[in-house]
Each structure stands twice: as C-alpha cells, then as structure tokens.
Amino acid sequence: MLSASFRLDPAFTIAPVSRRTFGSFVEHMGRCVYTGIYEPSHPTADEDGFRQDVLALTRELGVSIVRYPGGNFVSGYRWEDGIGPVADRPVRRDLAWHSLETNEVGIDEFMRWAGKADVEVMYAMNLGTRGVQEALDVQEYVNHPSGTRLSDLRRTFGSDKPYGIRMFCLGNEMDGPWQIGHKTPIEYGRLAVETARALRAADAGLELIACGSSNSSMPTFAAWEAQVLEIAYEEVDYISAHAYYEPVDGDVGSFLASAVDMDHFVNSIVATADSVGARLKSRKRLQISFDEWNVWYLKRFEATRETTAWPIAPRVIEDCYNVTDAVVVGSLLISLLRHSDRVTAACQAQLVNVIAPIRTEPGGPAWRQTIFHPFALTSRLAKGDVLRVEMQAPTYDTARFGPVPVVDAVATHDPDAGDVTVFVVNRDQSSPADLAVSVTGFGRDFRVAESWTLADDDLTATNTEQAPDRVVPHPNGTAWVEEGELHASLPPVSWTAIRLTPA
C-alpha cells in the first residue's frame, strides 16, 4: 500500500479561487455550434434554436466564461457575416478546418445563448487576416450603448443594451505556422500593441489577452513571449497559454503525469513575463489566460483529417474519453488551481462534441463524457482560497518527466462557510494509496460532508449514447476525520474530491 500525506493551514494561501478558471470554449468547428449548442429542429430547442438539454448540462458543468468564436477559425472570420437577417448572411469557406460556415449563428445569437447559460464571454478577435479596424468595429458593436453606426445596428438587430464584453483575445495562436496570417513575434507584437492602444482609447477598462505560445513544445517557446511582451507588455493584461495532452506510444505513466508539463509551462511563462517586466522597470504583473487546454488525441486526428471536401458542421475530433482521460483532466485542474496567483482565466477546449465534456447526436440525446465529472465537481466545490500543499509521497519514473509523485493534490478553504476541500489524484496504475491530511491548523473539528472518487477497474471504459452513465463519480466511503486528520483510500488511477465542513 502506498501512502501520501500533507498538512493544510489557512495561513498558507496561494490566492483566491478565480471563477474564470472554470471556463470553456465554443469554436465554429465541427459540431460544436451546429447540432451542438444550436439545433432549431431538435425536440428540446427553444425559441432561438438552442438545445435546452445542452444548456442544462452547461449549467451543471459549472462553466463561468466561454471563449468565442475561435480558435484557428477566428483568424479567417469576418464577424459582420454573422449579423443581420439570417437569410442574407453569406456562406464562407473556413480554411482552418476545411469546411463551410453558414453564419446562422453569429455574435448576437451567441450572446443570447451565453445569457441563457449564465456565462461571461471572452471574445477572440481576428488578427490573422484583419487587425486594428476590425477590433474597433467589434468592440463598438458589442459594447457601445448607442448613437454610432455599429451600436445602432446592434439595436436594430434586436439588442438594445450593449453586451458589456470585458475580455478580448488579441488573435489566436499567431506563433503557429498553421495559423492563417501567421506572424513573427515582432510583427505580432506591433499589431497587438497597436490594437490594444486603439481599444483602450475606446474603453480603458477592457481586459486584453496577448497570444502566447501555442504549446510548450514550440521551437519559439519563451522567446516568442519575451519578444512579444517587450513590445506589448504595458498594454495587455494577460498572456495566453494552450496545451493538449495524449498518451504517446502507449506511455500511460507519462500521460498520467501531464500536469507536470502544465506546471512547467506556467512557471516558464511567469518567469519570462516577470523578466520582461523587470527589464522594462514596470510595476505591472501580467496574468495568464490558459484559454485552451484538454486531453486531445491529436495524432489520431492528424491521421484522419479531411482536406478535400467542404462539408457543413462535419464530425471533427469527437474524441470519446475514458477513465484515464478523466483522471488526467482532474489532475490538470489541480495544476490550474495550484497556480491561481497567476492563472486567473482558463478555458477547457471545447464545450460540445469537439474534444468536449458534452456529446450530442443530431435530433437525439446529449450526455456527459467521463471528463465532465471532475470539471463539474471542481467547479462546484473549489471556493474561497487555494491553499499551499507540500506533498509527501513516493515517486515513480516516467519516460517524459523523470521521477513524478504518485499522488498529487491541491486544496481550497472557504472562510465564510468554514469548508475545506481536497482534490487529489493517485497516478499509480496498480496500487491504492492511503492519504493522510492534517487539518489541525484550522483550530476546529471537521467532518466529511461529501467525498467523490472517479475510478474504474476498466481504465478504457467510456460513456456513450447507449450507456451515458457507465463512468460516474461514486461516494468514497473510506474518507473519515479523526483527531484533526483526514484519512482516505485512493484507488489506482483515480481522481477524488473530499469536502470537509465544521463538525
């Protein structure tokens, strides 16, 4: 039996939990929008054509903010194609995903959906084929009250009040050679700073996100951030980070340790940004928007990608997630929370169908994938302040990351309710782990209010249309508190959440 332990104390906090950590992503890609969130012919569709079953699951998932409309899609997108009478909207080629965009859903429709889902919107601007003027036009359309051409056009099309979008991405993955309008860091830095200055002239209170590296394996990683921020540091509030993980050549041990890479990614960006800030003698402290992250079987997608036909809403990267994938997603959430002092926004990509926690069938049901559950529970239970965890646990060797702790965890403390919640993963593939957590530093007695574990004897088990609840979290009956110490048994390859409340 493995054993792991750590001590919690309310004096050792990292930062408040940011609700924006629990963001998602809706891109005009595959079936995320069409037959995902929007399907007018569906039995559950409301008066605006939105699937109410998907809306209900979005609320249950606990999503706080949604990045829209892309993604790679945005670098060739003409936002004005998606406003006005639907019958008059043009059909365009989407070069990013080699499909046709009907523009039935545009910014007005999406903002109505966001209102129904009760989520904030993070809007991504096209700095690939467009630039400063388009950014100003979008901001005027969505945020200016009235009295200008574009704000009055919005009112004509049915939205009298401005949408009040605060967060804007200055492009998407502009470091990537695959990106339409790909730029060098100097080219992008100049465009980003010019766009940011123009937007701030319109509204000084906007929160602006500069493009960071598309992943930590990019040959320009860190150098890109440094060169971009040398130009744009004072005009932006965030630098973005994107990361996707999959098992490589059957290496499950390294896959289960994916959060080690995420930790390194975040720490490297922080070091780079702070170094630039120091050289510029700036008092400003940039935040990180980890606005694309998930498990994605990218090699599988690259092997099957269609590049000849131009379909509408094709089935693209509809990965079916298993138990191991869900445990990895849970561990990535632990990493994001652990960095709450600098990662204050994050978006799991994507929301529906496309590498998503929610799956649908046209005209049929919607269901929760395995990765839905750790996200929903973490979003619901992580409140108050993130506490520092110094884990004492054995390690195991991985091909990619070297020695890695078998058990990883983060904890939160809600000072108003007095609750303490522990989120923990056991990465070992064969042995359970005994967990011991000292909570004597809180100076009160606790009891276990709820405890959930996602694990299964079959690590390849998935949720499907026919068996939508094959994999769900179950109460962990081994969790108990005695003499100021929480004890629990963690099954192999498992993710667990335990909430303690004052006794």
Of 486, 466, 470, 469, residue with least CA distance to 478: 486
Catalytic residue among 80, 104, 120, 173: 173
Could you tell me the two tokens for 20?
Answer: 């924006």
140 is catalytic: no
Where does residue 402 rank: exposed (0-12), middle (13-18), buried (19+ CB within 10 A)? exposed
Inter-residue contact 453 to 491 (CB < 8 Å): yes
Beta-carbon-side half-sphere exposure of residue 107 (alpha carbons within 13 Å): 28
CA angle 290, 326, 340 (to 5 degrees): 30
Catalytic residue among 80, 134, 235, 292: 292
Cβ atoms within 10 Å of 371's Cβ, excluding its own: 29
Beta-carbon-side half-sphere exposure of residue 200 (alpha carbons within 13 Å): 16
207 is catalytic: no
C-alpha R_g of the chain: 23
Contacts of 340 (CB under 8 A, 6+ apart): 14, 15, 16, 17, 18, 21, 386
> Percent helix, strand and coil across the chain, each rounded to 5?
30, 25, 45
Q: Quick one: CA dihedral 404, 385, 124, 277, positive or negative?
A: negative
Beta strands 238-245 and 207-210 are: parallel
Beta bridge partners of residue 26, listed in sequence order: none
CA 284 to chain centre: 25
Question: Of all helices (H) and strands (E), which one includes residue 486?
Answer: strand 485-490
**CA 14 vs CA 9, 59, 337, 411: distances in Å:** 11, 28, 9, 10
Of 295, 291, 287, 292, residue with least CA distance to 270: 287
Inter-residue contact 279 to 310 (CB < 8 Å): no
Beta strands 385-387 and 167-170 are: unpaired
Torsion angle (degrees, nearest 10) of CA 60, 63, 64, 66: -140
The residues annotated as belonging to the active site are 173, 292
